[in-house]
Protein backbone atom coordinates (compact mmCIF):
# COMPACT_ATOMS: atom_id res chain seq x y z
CA UNK A 1 0.00 0.00 0.00
CA UNK A 2 1.69 3.17 -1.16
CA UNK A 3 0.39 6.42 0.26
CA UNK A 4 1.51 9.76 -1.11
CA UNK A 5 1.72 12.68 1.30
CA UNK A 6 1.29 15.90 -0.63
CA UNK A 7 2.63 19.17 0.67
CA UNK A 8 0.17 21.84 1.69
CA UNK A 9 1.19 23.94 -1.28
CA UNK A 10 -1.66 25.61 -3.19
CA UNK A 11 0.64 26.65 -6.05
CA UNK A 12 1.92 23.11 -6.65
CA UNK A 13 5.58 24.13 -6.57
CA UNK A 14 6.75 21.15 -4.49
CA UNK A 15 6.53 17.57 -5.64
CA UNK A 16 4.71 15.10 -3.37
CA UNK A 17 6.81 13.24 -0.84
CA UNK A 18 6.49 9.61 0.15
CA UNK A 19 4.85 8.61 3.42
CA UNK A 20 5.20 5.67 5.79
CA UNK A 21 8.82 4.92 4.86
CA UNK A 22 8.02 4.52 1.16
CA UNK A 23 10.85 6.75 -0.06
CA UNK A 24 11.43 7.60 -3.73
CA UNK A 25 13.84 5.19 -5.38
CA UNK A 26 16.97 6.36 -7.15
CA UNK A 27 17.37 9.46 -5.01
CA UNK A 28 20.10 9.92 -2.46
CA UNK A 29 19.46 10.32 1.26
CA UNK A 30 20.34 14.05 1.18
CA UNK A 31 17.80 14.73 -1.57
CA UNK A 32 15.09 12.87 0.37
CA UNK A 33 15.83 14.75 3.61
CA UNK A 34 15.94 18.08 1.78
CA UNK A 35 12.62 17.33 0.10
CA UNK A 36 11.04 16.44 3.45
CA UNK A 37 12.40 19.58 5.14
CA UNK A 38 11.26 21.82 2.30
CA UNK A 39 7.83 20.23 2.31
CA UNK A 40 7.53 20.49 6.10
CA UNK A 41 8.53 24.16 6.02
CA UNK A 42 6.07 24.89 3.22
CA UNK A 43 3.30 23.02 5.02
CA UNK A 44 3.92 24.94 8.25
CA UNK A 45 4.00 28.30 6.44
CA UNK A 46 0.83 27.50 4.53
CA UNK A 47 -0.99 26.20 7.64
CA UNK A 48 -0.20 29.32 9.65
CA UNK A 49 -1.20 31.65 6.81
CA UNK A 50 -4.38 29.78 5.85
CA UNK A 51 -6.64 31.31 8.49
CA UNK A 52 -6.88 35.07 9.19
CA UNK A 53 -5.94 34.39 12.82
CA UNK A 54 -2.99 32.17 11.86
CA UNK A 55 -3.78 28.64 10.82
CA UNK A 56 -6.12 26.30 12.64
CA UNK A 57 -4.62 27.11 16.04
CA UNK A 58 -2.77 23.83 16.62
CA UNK A 59 0.69 25.39 16.41
CA UNK A 60 -0.34 28.35 18.55
CA UNK A 61 -1.93 26.00 21.14
CA UNK A 62 1.24 23.88 21.30
CA UNK A 63 3.38 27.02 21.69
CA UNK A 64 1.26 28.30 24.59
CA UNK A 65 1.29 24.87 26.28
CA UNK A 66 5.08 24.78 26.05
CA UNK A 67 5.43 28.30 27.46
CA UNK A 68 3.03 27.58 30.35
CA UNK A 69 4.93 24.50 31.46
CA UNK A 70 8.46 25.68 30.70
CA UNK A 71 9.37 26.15 34.38
CA UNK A 72 8.21 22.75 35.67
CA UNK A 73 11.79 21.71 36.53
CA UNK A 74 12.37 24.90 38.49
CA UNK A 75 10.90 23.47 41.71
CA UNK A 76 13.38 20.59 41.58
CA UNK A 77 16.30 23.00 41.28
CA UNK A 78 14.96 25.07 44.17
CA UNK A 79 14.69 21.96 46.35
CA UNK A 80 18.26 21.00 45.45
CA UNK A 81 19.59 24.43 46.44
CA UNK A 82 17.59 24.38 49.71
CA UNK A 83 18.94 20.90 50.52
CA UNK A 84 22.53 21.99 49.93
CA UNK A 85 21.98 25.09 52.10
CA UNK A 86 20.48 22.95 54.89
CA UNK A 87 23.44 20.56 54.76
CA UNK A 88 25.84 23.51 54.98
CA UNK A 89 23.95 24.93 57.96
CA UNK A 90 24.00 21.52 59.68
CA UNK A 91 27.77 21.31 59.18
CA UNK A 92 28.22 24.77 60.68
CA UNK A 93 26.01 23.84 63.63
CA UNK A 94 28.09 20.72 64.31
CA UNK A 95 31.30 22.77 64.32
CA UNK A 96 29.77 25.27 66.75
CA UNK A 97 28.38 22.58 69.05
CA UNK A 98 31.75 20.79 69.22
CA UNK A 99 33.49 23.91 70.53
CA UNK A 100 34.57 23.82 74.19
CA UNK A 101 32.47 26.76 75.37
CA UNK A 102 29.21 25.47 73.95
CA UNK A 103 29.98 21.95 75.15
CA UNK A 104 30.50 23.17 78.74
CA UNK A 105 27.29 25.21 78.56
CA UNK A 106 25.27 22.23 77.29
CA UNK A 107 26.72 19.91 79.96
CA UNK A 108 25.67 22.42 82.64
CA UNK A 109 22.12 22.56 81.26
CA UNK A 110 21.85 18.76 81.17
CA UNK A 111 23.27 18.39 84.74
CA UNK A 112 20.84 20.96 86.14
CA UNK A 113 17.94 19.22 84.39
CA UNK A 114 18.94 15.82 85.82
CA UNK A 115 19.38 17.15 89.38
CA UNK A 116 15.83 18.50 89.61
Burial of 16 (0-12, 13-18, 19+ CB in 10 A): middle
Give the alpha-carbon dihedral of 38, 44, 47, 48, to 10 degrees. -130
d(CA 5, CA 47): 15
Enumerate the domain spans of the chain. 4-68, 78-114
Instruction: Return the half-sphere exposure (C-beta side, CA atoms, 13 A cut-off) of residue 1.
Output: 1
pTM for the model stands at: 0.32
Give the pLDDT confidence score for residue 82 in this predicted structure: 93
Going residue by residue through the chain (116 aa), what tens digit of pLDDT does each one get?
444 444 445 555 555 544 444 444 555 544 444 555 555 555 555 555 445 555 566 666 676 777 776 666 667 888 899 999 999 999 999 999 889 998 899 899 999 999 87
Question: What is the pLDDT at residue 53?
Answer: 58
Amino acid sequence: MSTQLHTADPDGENEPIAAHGDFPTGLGRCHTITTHRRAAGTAMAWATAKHPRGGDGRFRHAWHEMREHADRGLATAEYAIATIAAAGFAGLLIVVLKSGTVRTLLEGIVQSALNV
